[in-house]
Structure 1
Amino acid sequence: MRFAVVGGTGLIGSRVVEKLDAAGHEAVPHSTSTGVDVLTGEGLDRAVAEADVIVDLTNSPTFDDASPAFFQQSMDNLLEAGRKADVGHFVVLSIVGVDQVPELDYYRAKTLQEKVLAAGPLPYSVVRATQFMEFVDSILSWTSDAGTVRLPTTPIQPIAAQDVADAVAAVASGEPLRGIHNVAGPEVFPLDELGRITLAARSDSRTVTTDDTAGMFAAVRGDVLTGPADASLAPTRYADWLAAR
């Protein structure tokens, strides 16, 4: 099978390309660096012309109220290019619980992306993943100063980027789900505890203070960002991922 992996040079995309190629498929990475622009449409027809599957791993450059416009425009362009090329499967990577946190601009934008895909002309699948282990440092930095990191107790179920890529590649290689596949890490942590574990593993002397008003995830209510009952659990544990880093 031939895959057009849009956003194929990034954290997840590069791993998806590698996984699909290793399985004997032909996965072609596309991004602005290869002359493909999902907002203007430049290069899209060429990118998907001979593809059996489009895998969309692009991301908005911002997390603010400009992000819905990015996903609306990029999906309109990708779906139209895929329709003209008679692509048989369109896969998007999204976020577990994304439609249950309307307080966050970016989550509303990703929910819009899913809705545009489902209403579009192509058979589709959505892979929803929990928060990436690779993003924990960024989460800590949002509410950090020289000596303290403030974090809420929001339950988080971190997943390694490689496990996300494996899930995306598996879904993309199969029949269209016309629905959602959830994938999550094997363990749930309160975010403040995850911060303490991370700092301790790195001999970082900063202190984590529990603050349920701190950072983006303070807007999350309950455990909506953890895997639902039907989620597939990935194998990589956070302690093992930290040790390997």
Structure 2
Amino acid sequence: MKVVPVEHKSAAEHVRSQLIELIESRHFAVDDRLPSEADLAASFGVSRSVIREALHSLNALGLTKSYAGKGTFVAATRAQSQLLIGRYLPAQLNEVRRYLEVPAARLAAERRTQEDVDGLAALVEEFDKSEEPADRIKIDALFHIAVASATGNPLFSRLVEDLRAVLQEQALAVSASPGRAAQARAEHRAIFEAIRDGDAEMADLAMRRHLAAVVATSTSLTDG
């Protein structure tokens, strides 16, 4: 197996890209078992945590499946765009979210109670500590629902909660993308701090930036 050792910066993204190329070129065929995390780490010259992050992304793309105690196996030779976006394009989902969640963030900053602030703070801390993509998307959903709830209008939280069911497939793929977790942590904290400080303009801007980053990541994944 010919691989190119990578530097630590953006290492998971480089590893992911090279593994995708190896799979799509049929170096690894469907049902083949990938080398162990330790072997991949040695080949690429990175830590096992970097390999683990890249493999999470491959699983989310539908290219591989991991089994406890057995390893990671190739499931497909092409990324499954349907798995990434379900029935809707990232831009379509973002358009709805922009008209629903941006106004909600603005209203939340104007109307939030101390209980709302405390709840959002706890979710931000929980998201910061979460390491697994599947766990992060659960906390992410609760955070966005909590923002909507802080508007004081129960319809906002109901609509955002219903929307999360549509977003699950895309959310998992985006969450597993290398480097996305750190970005999301910063974006969530910016939204929270604006709401906590009662800054409606900044809450609006922070939510817009967060949604733009999500659609950019999901679009890049779909584009392969």
TM-score band, normalised by shorter chain: under 0.3
> What is the TM-score normalised by the length of structure 2?
0.28
Q: Judging by fraction of residues, say which structure has more strand.
A: 1
Structure number with higher relative contact order (C-alpha < 8 Å, ≥ 6 residues apart): 2
Q: Judging by fraction of residues, say which structure has more helix.
A: 2
> What is the TM-score normalised by the length of structure 1?
0.26
